[in-house]
Structure 1
Amino acid sequence: MAFSGKYEFESDENYDAFVQKIGLPSDKVEMGRNCKIVTEVVQNGNDFTWTLHFPGGRTTTNTFTVGKEADMETMGGKKFKATVKMEDGKLIADFPNYRHISEICGGKLVETSTCSGVVYKRTSKKIA
């Protein structure tokens, strides 16, 4: 499955319940609410560069190779190590307190994060 492209936030579901469950600081909660984040993905085989562009110019970039441990950063700014897996065309990463799954559905980037039974889903449309 080819992930490469730029995707702009289109919609999300269950944001408030999810960020409360993972303990995101209140300033980050407000920053992320209905935020027009642009996700830029560069894929070269199993190598990925995954960048989140926030309004105001802030970015977060995670670079990883499927199946190899990599240094990562959460949307809250916490650094950790993770091994991203590919299963059935989906990228799966276990963050410190939630599981994150990314997939392409109908040309859109769909990201689903789950923490203690609370599921957050973000859909982004391809813009480039």
Structure 2
Amino acid sequence: MSYNIALFDFPIPNDFEKVCEYFEKYEDEDIQELSPSMLRFYQEISHLYPCLCELPDDEIDDSVWCDGPLINNFMTKIPVIGFVYSKVDEALPVVIKLANKKGISVLDWQQGTVFNAKQ
């Protein structure tokens, strides 16, 4: 099991249920390239928390990510990224803050919350 969040680089409402509907509508829509804001976010977050695939074998268990390559999770209209449960308290607040700073909103299913970026 992992702790998953969805990332939106387009305006979404503050209502959790409505955002879940947006996700269901677009979840299978692949993209060819990342938007500028999503690319900047990916670059910064993967610098802070490197992809599993970039870590030496003896550091993989220390990763915050539950899967890799991390970039593959971003090649859809609404990326979903997953954390290892033991790293959620450390990494989730950092990821949400950085996403919002980059204009990216976050849907957190476990908390039933939308962390909306200022658009």
Task: Specify if TM > 0.5.
Answer: no
> Normalization by structure 2: what TM-score?
0.33
> Normalization by structure 1: what TM-score?
0.31
Greater relative contact order (CA < 8 Å, ≥ 6 in sequence)? 2
Q: Counting strand residues as a fraction of each chain, which structure ranks higher?
A: 1
Q: Counting helix residues as a fraction of each chain, which structure ranks higher?
A: 2
